[in-house]
Each structure stands twice: as structure tokens, then as C-alpha cells.
Structure 1
Amino acid sequence: MTRYAIDRLVFGPDDVDLTRSPLAGHFDAETYVLGAFNPGLTRLPNGNLAMFVRVAEALRQPIFDGHIHAIRWDAGRYVLDAWPLDLVDTADPRKFLIRGGRWRVMALTSLSWILPVELSSDGLQVVAVHYDKAIEPQGSFQCYGVEDARVSRVGDRWLMTTCSVSPERHSTTLYSSRSGLDFAFEDIVLDHQNKDMLIFEGLIGDRYWAQTRPLGDLYFAYPPGSAWRAGPSINLATSPDALHWKPHRQPGIRPHAATVTTARMGGGTPPILTDAGWLTLWHGVEPKEIVGIYRTYWSILDRDDPSRTVRSDHVPLLEPAPELTAPLEDKMYVRDVVFTTGIAEEKDHYVIASGEADLASRITHIPKCTFK
């Protein structure tokens, strides 16, 4: 059993109506929902919550005629690309690697778009599914999809970051809203591989702050005996307008050498201000098989200098919960993954939104006293 009294799946693959998908009618092949997961979360002016669910839509039969096929957006329509099976590695169900190059090249087994789902104020009931407000690719820089929305409210404006995927770049894109539901595209804001850009929910001084997580295949070693482990870390950046970002000189949250659970790490929820400082939830990954074990951890950052961690905890806040996905066993394709992506404040607790097993959207109520 999970450790929290309220901890459940609230939206999953069977809750998506693919007849209203942006992909519907574009090609003669059946699709299905591989996952409805990694939801951004925010409080709406009417008091309800809104999740922004990543819908990964995949081909029911991707392999035919000796090829594996991928979905791609192309100038306002969706098309299928065919790759010879003898040129690819399909070990990971989420993607396939194309052999023969001097560097790793991959394509996805699904194309993702963002579906706004309005929830009751406690996050436990679906009030409305806003297909008319879905966010889908609109340029060649998003031709393989729009992934993993994170939503922050800063003043009277909502800011959403997404990961946009294409052969051109693996970029972070920004959307903004005055209502919390209707988002308009702003621009590409990070032009390098960065999976987790999280904008702080409030200014520090007169500047926007964000956590970032640049990716790479090469990292330099910390000296022997260091408290830190070389690898992906959570960095910081600042901006005068939320569009133009400068990396911060001081590092943010780094993987700790004392535990293998942060062998890989990245940001989870946009930092929110508490009496103790900025509360941020993030994921750590323990190596296991192909995907690893994803867990959620937390840290408190100094309110004036977020590069300084006030306190943190190596005990997981959230762990994968196989009992929650047991009714969806026939749809499982990865395990051991909880990927926390949204947070909203209530009187004595936080409503936490996560992706569970890259399959469904999970809501957990976590008491505020947990972070004391």
C-alpha cells in the first residue's frame, strides 16, 4: 500500500477519446493511447484544478511490410515514416534506436500532445476534458511531439514549459495564458537538450528563475572523495521576461555520491514559495534494466538564493505504486516509474500530480508537515 491516505490514479489511457485527437483522420492506421501521464498542474480562477496530460499516441501495429513506423507532424498533417527492421534496435518500448551512426539517433514509438483535463478542487474527480484546448505540434521543431508540460503561475499569468522533439533540436518551448486553460505559443526558450525546465512560481527580486536540466553524453569527474556524483544535475537560470534565459553561475541540486538513487536526476514540480523557502520536488533514478527506478524526492531552496539548498531528504517522498496500476496490467509496458510533474497548495496539504509507469496520471495528497 502507498503511505498516503489519498493516492490514486485519476486519468488514464481509457479516458482519452481518440476520435477527438489532433491525429484523427490523418492516416489509414489504427492508433491507441500508450500513456496519459506526466501531467502539469495548476489552480484555476474558479477553484478547480487543471491537469495538462501528456497523451502518447502510438500505432496499434507499428511493424508491417518489414519496417517499423513512426508518426511525424509535417506541415499541418500527420504522416508515417518507415524504417527497415534490420537498421533499428527496439529493446526500449518507448523508442527505437537507428543503428550505424557515430552517435545515438532514435525515433519514438508514439507522438505526444497535451490534453487539458479539469479536475475538482481536490484533484480527485474529472470535471471536463478540454479537447478544444489541446496543444499539438505547430512547427517542424515539434514534429515528433510536445511532451511533459509544467505549469507555473507568476503574478496574473500562467507559464507552461514543454519539451518539443524533432530532428532539428530537442528544445524547451514556452506557452502563456491569462486564464489558466487557454495557452498561446510564445517561443523556443532553450535550444539544447533539456528535459525539465521548471519556472519558479514567483519572482526573486525583479527576475524570473527556472530550474533546467541540460543533457549530454559526457560529464567531467568530481575529485575523489567529493560529496557529488558526475552526471545530469538540476541547474538554474534567470530571465527578465521569461523568454530570454541566462544560466546561473552557481549549480543547483546535484546528484549525491552517497546514494545510487540519484545516478540520474531531474526536476519535477515548479518550485513554490513556503515559509521555509522554495519547495521543489524532483526525481532520482536508480539504475535497473533499461529504464531504471524513478522515485520522487524533495528539497527546500533558499528564498533569496535558490542555488543554496536549505534542506533535503534522501528518503523518497513518492515511490512507484504497482497496486495502483494493477487494474491496467494489460496496458503496462514499463515499470518502477513515478515521475512527479505538478503541485498545488491546499490548506493543510499539497495536491501532487505524477505520471505513474508512463501510463496514467496519479494524484497524491501529501501533508505540509512532511516537509518540516
Structure 2
Amino acid sequence: SPEDKNAVLLPRRIGGDWVLFHRPTSVHGADVWLSRSSDLKSWRSPELVLGRRQGGWWDSERVGMGPPPLETEHGWLVVYHGVRQTVAGGLYRAGLALLDLEEPANVLRRSEEWVLGPGADYEVSGDVPNVVFPCGLVYHRESDKLFLYYGAADTRIGLATAGYSEVLDYLLACPSG
């Protein structure tokens, strides 16, 4: 059976089912899929959600989920990681997507550009160099801020902040699906 990792659940049921995002890896690649379950034991109906983009894209080698998606008035806000293979190894960056609230396999928007990438010394040097890996996302309503906790070079934990409204405005201006 294929390697399967980067699994996260939506925080509520959709149509009576739990929704799991995961990344099975096979000879065909590593993309984000969605599966559904009524009991959290048996999973069915796998659907491709976020695929690798072909060519010189920043997420052309593999993609995987970061933290559990955040429910917004416009859809599920997803922070995911993408990898591009370089001569120096894999380069891990973070991007954004917006999924339909009731049909989360439907990608409404997806950033063409990465929004967080390795640059600081602690992100470039470590156990696995050139890695930022999104892990936790918190929305602080009073300040309208997003707090993104991320792994840096598989050695440290970093914190990136951004305005919630600014992130949604940016994402809503991105191309469909």
C-alpha cells in the first residue's frame, strides 16, 4: 500500500460525514486527496483535491496539507505545503487555497505564488534544509490576525503572522480552482 501522510480532519461533519484530507504517495506522485467516513474507521469516496502543478511551479514535486482548514465566510481556508525539486534537494514552501464549505473537494481559489518560504538562517539550515512546513493555524478575532506555526528546516518552530482580512482578499483575487 502507498505511503499516506499529512492527514487532517475538517473540524465539523459535512453532510453527516467526517472529511479527511490526506496525501497518499505512489509511483504516480503525491497529491492531496479527500476521503469521507461516518464512523472515523472506514473511509470511502476518495477525491483528488489539490494536485501537483506540472512544470516549473513551486509546488510541482508534491503537495500536502498543513494545519486543519479554517472555516471562513468564503470557504475553508487551507494552508498547504508544496515542494519543488532543485539540484540542492527539495525546497518546501507554503501556499493557500480556498475550498467550498459544503463540497470541500471543490477548490474555489488557489494561490499561484507561495506565501511563505525559507529565507532566514533557521529555515535554510538544519536537519532538513530549505523547509518551511505549516503545522498550526490560529485566528485571533479581536486583532483580525492569523498566526501560522510552522516547522523550520525540521529543527525549529517558527511563527508567521498576517492580517486575516488581507489573506482572504489576496486569496479571493487568485485564480479559480
Percentage of matched positions with identical amino acids:
24
* Structure 2 CA distance for aligned equivalents of residues 192 and 344 of structure 1: 31
- Superposition misfits of 4+ residues, deviation over 4 angstroms: none
Distance across 2 between alignment mates of 1:242 and 1:251: 19
Structure 2: gaps spanning 5 or more residues: 170-177
Q: Secondary structure at the match of 2:58?
A: helix
Contact 1:354–1:362, Cα closer than 8 Å, also in 2:
yes
Q: Which residue of 1 aligns with 2:161?
A: 365
Is 1:209 the counterpart of 2:14? The answer is no
Match of 1:281 among 79, 92, 95: 79
* CA positional deviation for 1:252: 0.7
| Deviation, structure 1 residue 244 | 2.3
TM, length-normalised to structure 1: 0.42
Number of residue pairs the alignment of both structures matches: 165
1:345 aligns with 2:171: no
In the TM superposition, residue 360 of structure 1 has moved relative to its aligned partner by 0.4
- The two structures, once aligned, show a CA RMSD in angstroms of 2.0
Higher relative contact order (CA 8 A, sep 6+): 1
Point out the structure with max Rg over C-alpha.
1
**Is 2:132 aligned against 1:334?**
no
Q: How do 1:57-96 and structure 2 match up within 5 A? A: none
Q: 2:32 aligns with which of 210, 215, 234?
A: 234
Corresponding residue number in structure 2 for 1:108: none
How far did residue 192 of structure 1 move?
4.6
Cα pair distance change 1:198/1:291, threshold 3 Å: farther
Where in structure 2 are the equivalents of 1:218-367 lying within 5 Å?
218-219=27-28, 231-248=29-46, 250-257=47-54, 259-263=56-60, 264-289=62-87, 291-323=89-121, 325=122, 332-347=126-141, 348-367=144-163
Contiguous gaps of at least 5 residues in structure 1: 1-190, 220-230
Other structure's SS at 1:318 match: coil
Structure 1: which amino acid aligns with 2:128? V
Contact 2:58–2:113 (Cα < 8 Å) also in 1: no
Q: Secondary structure in 1 aligned to 2:148?
A: strand
1:182-202, Cα deviation, whole Å (9 max, x unpaired): xxxxxxxxx751121111122
Shift of 1:300: 0.2
Specify the code of the residue in structure 2 equivalent to 1:337. Answer: V
CA contact (8 A) 1:260 1:287 kept: no
Amino acid at match of 1:359: T
The Cα shift of 1:336 comes to 1.1
